[in-house]
Amino acid sequence: MRVLVVTAVPAERDAVTRAFGDGGRTSSHHAPGTGFHRVDAPGGAGFVDVLAGGAGPAAAAAATAFGLAAAHRPGPDAAPYDLVVSAGIGGGFAPAAPVGSLVVSDRIVAADLGAQTPDGFVPVTALGFGRDVHLPPRSLVREAAAATGALAADILTVSTVTGSAERAAALRAAHPRAAAEAMEGFGVAEAAERTGTPVLEIRAVSNAVGPRDRDAWRIGDALAALTGAFGKLVPVLEGWPHHDRNNV
């Protein structure tokens, strides 16, 4: 098991590493100050590198690409990753994903990558270039959702966090299977796809998608849920690399 987990901010990174108890240590094969932390899997079954890569799809893609490239550099710790996970907190679409719940991506969707036209929004694929969806391995999605109690659904990547009921309704109309939104998943998936590395996204819901109400956000509860999720994911991640990685 060699897993790269990419979060946006250090608080999310630390929530992930807490799931491994006192096993965390600074990764030796990354430059100081890059935000990487390595945690060893129980029983010496591998390692998980956790990176706080920055907010938004561009920062997430750049940080993921850096991490994947560093894993291929010559050295005693060099080892390509088996899996990349985009992880953190995010907004949940009510009633499917209430605050404190978990969502695992069965599709990672770039919800606002495209063009505005007089007839409405056109996704990048309809414009004839690029892609707007990445598909995590189905077997891994099933196992991760079963282990954590998460809902398996679309997770939307947005460059601007939703702040109105109108925008939330428009996203749900365009993406009826969406259960959560965040800002990094598609960027992580784009970088992972370049090296043929499977990708997964998991979000702990801190707030409802819709009008911004900071007093209603439960960031602490969501971070605790993220820690709990990774504690339950460890056996799944240990066993999954030995399974069929195709989307079946």
Decide if 21 is inside a domain: yes
d(CA 152, CA 145): 6
Decide if 247 is inside a domain: no
Is the pLDDT at 48 greater than 80? The verdict is yes
d(CA 89, CA 207): 9
Decide if 7 is inside a domain: yes
d(CA 88, CA 91): 10
- Strand intervals (E) in the chain: 2-7, 24-26, 36-40, 47-52, 83-92, 102-110, 114-117, 120-123, 133-134, 151-157, 178-182, 199-208
pLDDT confidence bin for 246, thresholds 50/70/90? very low
Measure CA of the first residue to CA of the last residue in the chain; give whole Å.
20
Decide if 61 is inside a domain: yes
Q: What does the pLDDT look like over 94-140, one tens digit per residue?
A: 999 999 999 999 999 999 888 888 888 888 888 888 889 999 999 99
Closest CA to 21 of 234, 193, 194: 234
Decide if 155 is inside a domain: yes
Decide if 248 is inside a domain: no
- High-pLDDT (> 70) share of the chain, %: 86
d(CA 218, CA 214): 9
Q: What does the pLDDT look like over 157-187, one tens digit per residue?
A: 999 999 999 999 999 999 999 999 999 999 9
Residue 152 sits in a domain whose CATH number is 3.40.50.1580
pLDDT confidence bin for 5, thresholds 50/70/90? very high
Decide if 68 is inside a domain: yes
Domain of residue 30, residue span: 2-242
Decide if 33 is inside a domain: yes
Domain total of the chain = 1
Position 78: which residue type?
A
Q: Are 12 and 226 in contact (CB under 8 A)?
A: yes
**Residues with Cβ < 8 Å from 245, sequence gap 6 or more?**
137, 139, 140, 198
Is the pLDDT at 31 greater than 60? The verdict is no
